[in-house]
Chains A and B, each alone.
Chain A
Amino acid sequence: MVSTISRQVENLQGIGEAFGLAWQLVLTGDAALVEIVALSLQVSLTATALACLIGLPLGAIVATLRFRGREAVLILMNALMGLPPVVIGLLVYLYLSRSGPLGFLGLLYTPAAMILAQTILITPIVAALSRQVIEDLHVEYDEQFRSLCLSRGQTMRALIWDARYSLLTVGLAGFGRAVAEVGAVMIVGGNIDHLTRVMTTAIALETSKGDLPLALALGIILLVLALGVNAAVQSVRLTATRQAYV
């Protein structure tokens, strides 16, 4: 009992220690930290951009077109949002492995492999969520578009442009999933120091070394980073809407 209580006190001290450590790492501009933060952002932001490039048009197509099997596509898209990162990591590994079909590219254990895995992970999220957003808007505008005799392409472009602020949130949902996942990047990146180590794999590594305060400190920094990206997007949105209504 006594040891349980003292352990609990120790754990609480660990949390305080973690905040101190996080602060210290940021203030000193720790070179290793800067490196993994930069790679985390590079990988997850690129994956988000690629996922939007593929997912938004896909969402718009499914939202506006009526075709046979559409219901099945909807269900599939929504289900794929729940793909476990570790399964995607494994699939990408099997393809990119030297003994796999794309092994000749030599992409395994590079940031490109991590971007690929995260893109596959979040494209369904971007596609499924943007489909919903665009479809709601489409219902609203349908008659107007018809009266203007817009082509399908024009309709989709107009819808995506009009829904752009809601779609920013969709992008953020994708980014959040990408930057937070560890299962896929661990397998296809390998958590190699100075090459493929990102925030989440570094946190897993420090946890397994038993350095819980450092692991938690990295977690706090990751959270602040996500807050920063979200705040930046929010401010873009606010500025843009304000200008639109002036």
Chain B
Amino acid sequence: MTAKTVTIALLALATPALAQEQSILVQSTTSTANSGLYDYLLPIFTTESGIIVNVVAVGTGQAIKNAENCDGDVLLVHAKPAEEKFVADGFGTTRSDLMYNDFIIVGPPSDPAGIKGMTDVQPALAKIAETKAPFASRGDDSGTHQKEMELWSDSGADPKAASGDWYRETGSGMGATLNTGLGMGAYVLTDRATWISFENKQDYLIVVEGDQDLYNQYGVIPVNPAKCPSVKSAEAQVFADWLVSEAGQAAIAGYKINDQQLFFPNAPKQ
């Protein structure tokens, strides 16, 4: 009797959410959400299409996992190899390049590793390892973390061996990692969009930027209805198509904070 009451109560409460017609769920990353891009972009899309877009912002690794569990209609993340695997495994229909920004390394003004102004990222990382200057890593299998691991491996240094010593894995989102890194005077690899919109910069500076290898590509993938019958594939496709259309690309380019553009659209021309 009690269990029945509970079920009925839960279903009654769920109804408003289910009744919302024409809404889709996007599994995406903390970097895009924390930068405020969606708050700017989604109302424009909803006005044009009448489709409400809800966003779950987690690390890229978790976003992909959630989408593989069919808990989302569209995947919008930044880890190209993992995205291509997602499509190859049949979870996504097609992947399209969407936009890019770049990664930067931020650090304290005292610059304990002496890397300020370097434009090659791998030697800079090697110097951090050599001087054992504190470095705060996401450590959460996010797109940013995967990129960081790739850069470390190219630099020849092995930070994992120093985990807990000068190399500190926070296991949390970009903003949380920045807060932690700033608290202990550590260097942090972050995407530029999150950094520009981050409001707790204190006296931190960008110490390394401009390397080709710091390029950060975002992709958009509708979840495959063949794997996930519950997916709202028509609406998901409308959203993905709009993002790569001229209107969507112009909207992405139009998002600025303090006159700085945060994301650079680069979808292939239709």
Contact = CB atoms under 8 A, between A and B. Distances in A.
B134 interface: no
Interface in A191-246: 191-195, 205, 207-212
Given A108-B71, A192-B25, 18 more contacts: A46-B13, A50-B6, A53-B6, A57-B2, A97-B71, A98-B69, A99-B69, A105-B14, A106-B18, A107-B10, A109-B71, A110-B18, A205-B34, A208-B173, A208-B175, A210-B175, A210-B178, A210-B201
Contacts of A98: 69-71, 228, 230
Contacts of A190: 54, 56
B130 interface: no
A112 B10 contact: yes
Contacts, number: 100
A103 B72 CA distance: 12
A209 B199 contact: yes
B49 interface: no
Interface of B: 2, 5-6, 9-11, 13-14, 17-18, 25, 30, 34, 39, 54-57, 66, 68-71, 172-176, 178-179, 197-203, 228, 230
Interface in A27-73: 46, 50, 53-54, 57
Contact of B14 (A3, A57, A111, A211): A111
10 contacts: A7-B202, A103-B230, A115-B10, A119-B6, A192-B55, A208-B173, A208-B176, A209-B34, A210-B175, A210-B179
A208 B174 contact: yes
Contacts of A182: none
A201 B234 CA distance: 31
Nearest to B198: A210
A238 to B, nearest CB: 30
A53 B2 contact: yes
Which of B5, B18, B71, B172 is packed against the most chain A CB atoms within 10 Å? B71
A106 B232 CA distance: 12
A209 B13 contact: no
A206 B10 CA distance: 29
Contacts of A99: 68-71
Contacts of B178: 210
Given A207-B179, A210-B175, A110 B17 contact: yes
A65 B18 CA distance: 43
Contacts of B9: 46, 50
Contacts of A185: none
A184 interface: no
Nearest to B172: A208
Contact of B55 (A57, A193, A209): A193
A112 B13 contact: yes
Contacts of B69: 97-100
A116 interface: yes
A208 B228 contact: no
Which of A98, A111, A191 is packed against the most chain B CB atoms within 10 Å? A98
